Structure 1
Amino acid sequence: MAVCLLGAISVLTLVYTQDLVRKQDSFQVPSKVQNRNISGNDVIRKTRVLCLILTSASGQTKMAAVKATWAKRCHKYLFIYGQTEVSQKDESFLYVPVQEGRSHLTAKVRHALEYAYQTYKDSFDWILKSDDDTYVIIENLLYLLSHADSSKPGYLGFHMKTKKTSRTGYMSGGGGYVISSRGLHQLIHVGFQDADCRQDGGDEDVEIGLCLTKSNVSVLNSLDSDGRQTFHPESLLRHLYPPYPKWLQSYSWNQDSANFGSECCSKYSVSFHHISVDMLYMIDHLLYKTKVYDFQKVNDNDKRSVFNPHVVNPAYK
């Protein structure tokens, strides 16, 4: 109970993201925006993201929570199921011919990416791969992506490394990763045609990362200007309050950015992983239904517009 309460209090630190573009100083504004008479907000609004969310027949409660919260802010979303005895008809469900289970996630993601390319390749700028226990702040994702060029091959997320991926690293699958439209094109036509890219097995995020490298898809920086992470493979609580996930320190590509405590996360954080169903709803409510009062941005009329603390009469004398 105390941990859940602490998690709720910790989530309040995210509430400031409502004021998404009030201070756009956390990422460098690209020359394509500076050199044209285009505002940052215009670029954000025009950035289109397709969300591919891995789920399973046993994860219906999580799927429903994601669908009711952050998924609806994607330009389009698909829940990716493997083989199941009972399939439901829903335009947001995609069933791929892959056995369910962690050992088959690589094949599951490959099928989902191939379907996304064949069906929507001209409709989206970026493709997000996420899990059904991840919370994604889509507005912050769009803000980050507005600083990159989807017509160039690239992908980004929480940048990690192992001995197997020591040259370029890979992106954490749990924290979610995003591939540009051009990057997906090269992955389909180069990497997925390479016999060295695994069809299945291994760790999905590592194997897809290796295949993206073989496809000449560049790793893009996702740190903000303060050097803080935007994608997170653990929950906000685990980053803020001990015991900290020390394994992140050894796996993180950016060693200096794997901080914990109050300095853990970017003001414009994009994702957190290992989020329970109740916390999915709680985070969403705090972000979009709760507002932090800003004394510097209101006038006298605003101060009187929300509350009226008049005397409440007794029910009887």
Structure 2
Amino acid sequence: MISEGGSFMRGMLIGVAFCIVITLLGHIKLSHEPTTSHEHHHIHAPNKEEVLKLMGTEKMELSESIQVYCIILVRPKDLSLWAAARTTWSKHCDKADFYSSEHMKVFDSIVLDSNDMWVMMRKAIQMAYKNHKDKYNWFFISQPSTFAIIENLKYFLLKKDPSEPFYIGHTVKDGDLDYVNIAGGIVLSLECVNRFVDLMNKPDKCPETGSIIWKVSEDKQLAMCLKHKGVLAENAEDSEGKNVFNTKSVGTLIKEAMANDPQKVVEGCCSDMAITFSGLSPNNMQVMMYGVYRLRAYGHSFNDALVFLPPPNSDND
């Protein structure tokens, strides 16, 4: 007869063996499952060497084919930023309009009669599409504290088809949702705007009012709506994998780079083809304008393959 101690030991061994089998089976099962990945995609700017190989006529056609309409959402508290954006980078858009929550005597704007940023964004996109869909094929949405280099945006969009549903910028993950952070600016292709406007007629999928329980930011609301049309957020990067839409200012990014690796401040900071920087003061905008468009190194010339000129009525370089 087997003793109680022997029975106990045998039970322990069987239990351990059973656990090992279950663990192995679990690993086998997991190995056949697809690995979880972010829903957003990573898309890159064109390779400079490829652009240099383009024929002269093709370069001209490409540079003229990209027409950017800028939507800048403003409220009365943004007055000084509004003024700075109006006199600096926004003049390089093919057309820029300020969409305001209420009427302001100081500057002309398109009045939306709402202080809710999600309602403002919805109305602004809808109006922009209705009035400008036949002339502009890319729509750039930003806050007044964002500085955008439109020429770099056009370069990034060079070989991207606006008839495809592009939703581009600096992506952020929040739970199961990937969205483009409005601080860095949001770029929508004509087709993406077309799909979004269609969704506005379906309140069950894209409601004008957010959740009663908690407030969801306008950029997250946009992503939630577009998801119903199969449009996912795409993170924009240069050919080296660096972000080109930035949700922070140049100064902040430099400080972070110095803290991370003082020997590689420039390499660790920002892309040479950066499109946006955010969180700027009005004075910062003027400094950015000077650095990007006016400062020149005498005797040094850039051999860019393409030229993107600001609109004829712009008094900026």
Same fold (TM over 0.5): yes
Question: 1:266-285 residue pairs with structure 2 within 5 A?
Answer: 266-285=271-290
Partner of 1:233: 247
Q: 2:146 aligns with which of 120, 123, 134?
A: 134
Residues of 2 paired with 1:129 and 1:170: CA distance?
A: 14
The count of corresponding residues between Structure 1 and Structure 2 is 252
Q: Structure 2: which amino acid aligns with 1:285?
A: Y
Q: Residue 209 in 1 paired to residue 228 in 2?
A: no
> Sequence identity, in percent?
24
Note the C-alpha offset of 1:35.
9.4
Spell out, residue by residue over 1:118-155, the C-alpha distance to the aligned partner (whole angstroms, 9 max, x if none). Answer: 11111111110000000000100111111211011111
Q: Structure 2: which amino acid aligns with 1:151?
A: S
Note the C-alpha offset of 1:193.
2.0
Note the C-alpha offset of 1:110.
0.4
Structure 1 residues 191, 296: CA separation in 2 closer, same or farther (over 3 Å shift)? closer
Q: Which consecutive residues of structure 2, in runs of 5 or more, have no partner in the other structure?
A: 1-43, 211-215, 304-317
Note the C-alpha offset of 1:230.
0.3
Residues of 1 paired with 2:130 and 2:297: CA distance?
A: 44
Q: Residue 54 in 1 paired to residue 73 in 2?
A: yes
Indicate the SS of the match to 2:267: helix
Shifted more, 201-210 versus 269-278: the winner is: 201-210
Structure 1 residues 290, 171: CA separation in 2 closer, same or farther (over 3 Å shift)? same
Partner of 1:73: 92
Question: 1:16-165 residue pairs with structure 2 within 5 A?
Answer: 27-28=46-47, 38-82=57-101, 84=102, 86-88=103-105, 93-98=109-114, 100=115, 104-165=116-177
Indicate the SS of the match to 1:43: helix
Residues of 2 paired with 1:262 and 1:188: CA distance?
A: 40
Q: Residue 176 in 1 paired to residue 192 in 2?
A: no
Structure 1 residues 177, 118: CA separation in 2 closer, same or farther (over 3 Å shift)? same
Cα RMSD of the aligned pairs, angstroms, is 3.2
Q: Structure 2: which amino acid aligns with 1:229?
A: N
CA contact (8 A) 2:165 2:192 kept: yes
Structure 1 residues 118, 96: CA separation in 2 closer, same or farther (over 3 Å shift)? same
CA contact (8 A) 1:40 1:146 kept: no
CA contact (8 A) 2:70 2:90 kept: yes
Shifted more, 183-192 versus 266-275: the winner is: 183-192
TM-score by length of 2: 0.71
Partner of 2:309: none
Question: 1:288-303 residue pairs with structure 2 within 5 A?
Answer: 288-294=293-299
Shifted more, 45-54 versus 176-185: the winner is: 45-54
Residues of 2 paired with 1:48 and 1:199: CA distance?
A: 29
Structure 1 residues 196, 295: CA separation in 2 closer, same or farther (over 3 Å shift)? closer
Q: Residue 224 in 1 paired to residue 238 in 2?
A: yes
Q: Which consecutive residues of structure 1, in runs of 5 or more, have no partner in the other structure?
A: 1-24, 247-258, 299-317
Residues of 1 paired with 2:130 and 2:164: CA distance?
A: 19
Note the C-alpha offset of 1:216.
2.3
Indicate the SS of the match to 1:182: helix
Structure 1 residues 187, 58: CA separation in 2 closer, same or farther (over 3 Å shift)? same
Spell out, residue by residue over 1:24-51, the C-alpha distance to the aligned partner (whole angstroms, 9 max, x if none). Answer: x95248x9x9898853453123211110
Question: 1:4-23 residue pairs with structure 2 within 5 A?
Answer: none
CA contact (8 A) 1:69 1:280 kept: yes
Instruction: Please say which structure displays the higher CA radius of gyration.
Output: 2
Shifted more, 269-278 versus 197-206: the winner is: 197-206
CA contact (8 A) 2:70 2:140 kept: yes
